[in-house]
Copies of this chain bind each other. A is one copy, B any other.
Amino acid sequence: MPLSEPTTSPRAPASRGSVVISVDAMGGDRGPAAVVAGIAESADKNPDIRFIVHGPRAELERMIARRSGLAARCDIRDAQGVVTMGDKPSQVLRKGEGTSMWSTVESVRNGEATVAVSCGNTGALMALSMLRLRKLPGVNRPAIACLWPSRNPQGFNVMLDVGADIRADAQDLLTYALMGASYARNGLGLARPRVGLLNVGTEEHKGRAELKQAHELIGPAAQVANFDYIGFVEGGDLPSARVDVIVTDGFTGNVALKTGEGTAKLIADFLKDAFGNSVMSKFAALLAMTSLKRLQKRIDPRRVNGGVFLGLNGTVVKSHGSADATGVSAAIKLAFQLAQSGFQDRLAARVAQSLGPEAGGELISKGAS
């Protein structure tokens, strides 16, 4: 079996040099200026991306015109409505047509763009994406996958679900394992990712009933779907070099993600305090600037900016609400990599192959027998 994903795709993957990304200019905490600045940064770095940008036309035209050469790379879609951080997903589903977020997803739905990027309200974006893109056959619960700074050569591990749904049964966890492995292959370039299931201990008898069931399902599936299953992992393993993909339910994943971010922020603040405390240590901090910058680069959340929605008929990248130009640019870079690898079609084929298009698990049993 080849190491790459099966390529029996209904749509041809985007060829090099022609990737179109659909970007929601509105809904982030820093407004459209930060998003346009991020688009400009990406455009400068990568001549192969074109953009469809969604939001109020007059405002966006003005902002884009100020950046040299950018207007020619951007197609602006007028959308006057904005989904705010406080909007409930159910409201957005009912009244969201005409918002920049709806329009952004629509460009992926109708095939104009390969991947959508938004800094807006996560719950609303997931609800809209599910409504308009629909779930992939065989997927019961879509998931959000995030990148986690790690000791691995690739620099990051994948964790999913980090908040698409607050619960997951054994079959959902199996689907997450398949989707997470596919994401690691296409997004991080790992030929044979190692997948672990998050639990409170590594012994087989530990944890909730659905985890023990998932443990029984994922092992056999790994052989068919071309990844290694390493069994249960613990919270301390999230940045570990013994695993590449960590599978968990969206409640636990969301708490873990925010706990990790909060801890990193706490230490960064303590570090700042420590170095600001005396003339001697300020001088030392000055000398150590290069080292400190190197450290910051390794754990900078802006560099790992972009939760990816998996399990839909189309790929959506959720950028942090507070993302600045660097953050938006990182999310666009991720979207570009996924688009270029033909990720969406590979993922769909992998799920179909492993789970069967209708009833889940059938092919897996055959594969394991």
For A167, list chain B residues within 8 Å (CB). Answer: 208
Docked pose: A278 CA to B255 CA in angstroms: 37
Assess the A299–B267 pair: CB atoms within 8 A: yes
- A111: CB under 8 A from chain B? no
- A291 at interface (Cβ–Cβ under 8 A)? yes
Contact of A287 among B264, B281, B298 (CB under 8 A): B281
CB contacts (< 8 Å) of A142 on chain B: these are: none
Chain B residues contacting A237 (CB-CB under 8 Å) are: 262
Contacts of A263 in B (CB 8 A): 238-239, 259-260, 263-264
Contact between chains at B261 and A259 (CB < 8 Å): no
Of the stretches A31-39, A59-67, A246-254, the one at the interface is A246-254
**A278–B299 alpha-carbon span in the complex (Å):** 20
B271 touches A280 (CB 8 A): no
Assess whether A94 is interfacial by the CB under 8 Å rule. Answer: no
A198 at the B interface (CB under 8 A): yes
Interface flag for A294 (CB, 8 Å): yes
On whether the beta carbons of B287 and A280 are closer than 8 Å, the reply is yes
Q: Please measure, in the bound complex, the distance between the C-alpha atom of A39 and the C-alpha atom of B284, giving whole angstroms.
A: 38
What's the interface size class on A, roughly? 35 or more
A24, B211: Cα distance in complex, Å: 33
Contact between chains at B252 and A205 (CB < 8 Å):
no
* A275 / chain B contacts, CB cutoff of 8 Å: 288, 291
| Pairwise interchain contact A239-B266, C-beta atoms closer than 8 A | yes
Q: Are B287 and A261 neighbours in the complex by a CB distance under 8 Å? A: no
Contact with B along A42-76 (1 / 0, CB 8 A): 00000000000000000000000000000000000
- Does A151 lie at the interface of the complex (its beta carbon under 8 Å from any beta carbon of B)? yes
A200 within 8 A of B: yes
Q: Which residue of B lies closest to A276 (CB)?
A: B291
The complex places the Cα of A284 from the Cα of B283 at a distance, in Å, of: 8
Interface residues of A in 284-326 (CB under 8 A from B): 284-288, 290-292, 294-295, 298-299
Q: A88 contacts which chain B residues (CB < 8 A)?
A: 205
Option from B265, B285, B291 in Cβ contact (under 8 Å) with A277: B291
Indicate whether A166 reaches chain B with its CB closer than 8 angstroms. Answer: yes
Q: Mark A168-200, 1 if CB is under 8 A from B, else 0.
A: 000000000000000000000000000000101
Q: Which of A198, A250, A263, A286 has the most CB of B within 10 A?
A: A263
- A352 located at the interface, meaning its Cβ lies under 8 Å from any Cβ of chain B in the complex: no
Q: Which of B207, B255, B274, B295 contacts A292 (CB 8 A)?
A: B274
Chain B residues with Cβ below 8 Å from A366 are none
Is A256 part of the binding interface, using a Cβ–Cβ cutoff of 8 Å?
yes
- Whether the pair A295, B280 counts as a contact (CB closer than 8 A) is no
Chain B residues, Cβ within 8 Å of A235: 254-262
The answer to whether B256 and A256 touch across the interface, beta carbons within 8 angstroms, is yes
Q: A255 touches which one: B149, B252, B271 (CB < 8 A)?
A: B252
A292 to B285, CA, bound (A): 11
Q: Which residues of B contact A298 (CB under 8 A)?
A: 270
CA distance A265 to B236 in the complex (A): 9
Q: Contacts of A251 on B, CB cut-off 8 Å? A: 200, 207-208, 252
Q: Which residue of B lies closest to A280 (CB)?
A: B287
Sampled A-B contacts (19; CB under 8 Å): A149-B266, A234-B254, A234-B255, A234-B258, A235-B255, A235-B259, A235-B261, A236-B259, A238-B262, A260-B260, A263-B263, A267-B299, A271-B271, A271-B295, A274-B295, A280-B290, A281-B288, A281-B291, A285-B288
List 6 tightest A-B contacts by C-beta distance, closest first: A235-B258, A284-B287, A284-B288, A235-B259, A236-B262, A274-B291
